[in-house]
Amino acid sequence: MTNTTLKKISEILGISISTVSRALKHHPDISVKTREKVIELARTLDYEPNANAVQLRTKNSRLLGLMVPTISNYFYETFIAAVEEDARKNGYAVMILQSGNDPLIEAENLKLFRQNRVSGVFVCLSSNTKDMSSFEKMYELEIPVLFFDNVPQESGVHKICLADKKSAQLAAELILQHPYQSILAIFGNPALSITKKREAALKNAFQSHPHISLLIEHANSSDEAKNICHEMLNKHLPDIIFCMSDEVLIGVLKTIQEKGLRYPDNIALLTISNGTIPRLFHPQITYIETSGEKLGKAAFAHMLNCIQTKHAPTELLVDAVLINGGSL
């Protein structure tokens, strides 16, 4: 009986509604005997407290909002799984929405979060978001917003990112340990903060090595990466291909396979990755690990801190780690 009310319990036990309510809250004024009777009957009748009433009283809905451009992404999948797991362990549920990289849908999703009185929101910004005004109502309602992965450039907001600059620096350092003279580097959407950081760091690392040819291209999808790689390899076979992400890597691997090439015999391969795709191949592809799981766990811990105590806007970084394979 999911619609069982406090009144029904009070009628069966012959006690007041207020006594039932206090017994369910373990109020010290209620005797142990009465409390046990109330709790036992509530369980028998499958009583559930009114979630809206509880959230209005406690100002904590125990519901978190999480928005990503798309769920069908290896990195976001692991991030979501980590947040959901830790949320469940701490008595929270997670409402997951997609923006489709559309600022209008992003704004509508924020409205849905507000209507559901979420306790906090995790947001990976749409790549097309220029105006941050849709987030103002969240701040006005004192709902913590934690931006992750693709974050706004503005200061004064909570952000948590992978060490994008360090990941590109590690990649450059590894490349420079080999006698490579030509590099094809394929990055993602140039509008994304992660792309900007990784590309700038890689370019900076090779500025003092003018003898090395660094060709940079951008792809918004694995299909675009495949087409770009195919076109570039028709012109010239570089010594190494650097992929900014798993999505880019998938497209590059398709081209390498179609052309009958093998790594590292014909061409070297290096990527920044969540780790799933590189481990599927033999030899394993060398990658700089940027873990969605680690980011998700760190993000949830920070969100919990924001909910429990008023926390000054902070920018956090999750470290990058080199995982050696056999693709260089």
Q: Which helix (H) or strand (E) holds 21?
A: helix 17-24
pLDDT of residue 74: 81
Residue where the block lists tokens 């010594």: 239
Buried-exposed string 104-136: b where 16+ CB fall within 10 A, e elsewhere: ebbbebbeebbeebbbbbbbbbbbebeeeebbe
| Average pLDDT for 235-257 | 96
Looking at residue 49, what is its pLDDT? Answer: 63
- What pLDDT is recorded for position 58? 46
- pLDDT-derived band at 2, boundaries 50, 70, 90: very low
In this prediction, residues 266-285 reach a mean pLDDT of 95
What pLDDT shows up at residue 1? 39
Q: If one looks up domain 164-289 in CATH, what number appears?
A: 3.40.50.2300
CB–CB of 296/78 below 8 Å?
A: yes
- Is the pLDDT at 3 greater than 50, yes or no? no
Would the pLDDT of 54 be above 90? Answer: no
Closest by CA to 24, choosing from 1, 54, 2, 52, is 54
- The C-alpha atoms of residue 305 and residue 108 are separated, in whole angstroms, by 27
For the residues 82-101, what does the mean pLDDT come to? Answer: 96
pLDDT at 4: 57
Residues 289 and 211: their CA atoms lie apart, in Å, by: 28
Dihedral (CA of 191, 195, 197, 199) sign: negative
pLDDT in tens, 120-130: 999 999 988 98
User: 3-class DSSP state for residue 218?
Assistant: strand
Q: What percent of the chain has pLDDT over 90?
A: 70
Q: Report the amino acid identity of residue 326.
A: G
With cut-offs at 50, 70 and 90, classify the pLDDT of residue 325: very high
β-pairing verdict for 145-148 and 120-123: parallel
- Name the average pLDDT for the chain: 90
Residue extents of the structural domains in the chain? 6-49, 60-162+293-318, 164-289
pLDDT confidence of residue 216: 97
Instruction: Please tell me the pTM assigned to this model.
Output: 0.75
The pLDDT, as a whole number, for residue 43 is 81
pLDDT value at residue 38? 87
Residue type, 106: E
Report the C-alpha gap between 323 and 270 in whole angstroms: 10
d(CA 64, CA 61): 8
Quick check: do 60-162+293-318 and 164-289 share a fold? yes
Please determine, for residue 24, whether its predicted confidence score (pLDDT) is greater than 90: no
Cα–Cα nearest to 70, from 126, 113, 29: 126
Distance CA 20, CA 54 (A): 15
Provide the angle, in degrees to the nearest 10, between the axes of the packed helices 6-13 and 17-24.
Answer: 110
Question: By the 8 A CB rule, do 103 and 126 touch?
Answer: yes
Per-residue model confidence as pLDDT tens digits over 155-205: 899 999 999 999 999 999 999 999 999 999 999 999 888 999 999 999 999
* CATH number of this structure's domain 60-162+293-318: 3.40.50.2300
Q: Which has the minimum average pLDDT: 41-50, 73-82, 120-129, 204-213?
A: 41-50
Q: Does the structure show a pLDDT above 70 at 270?
A: yes
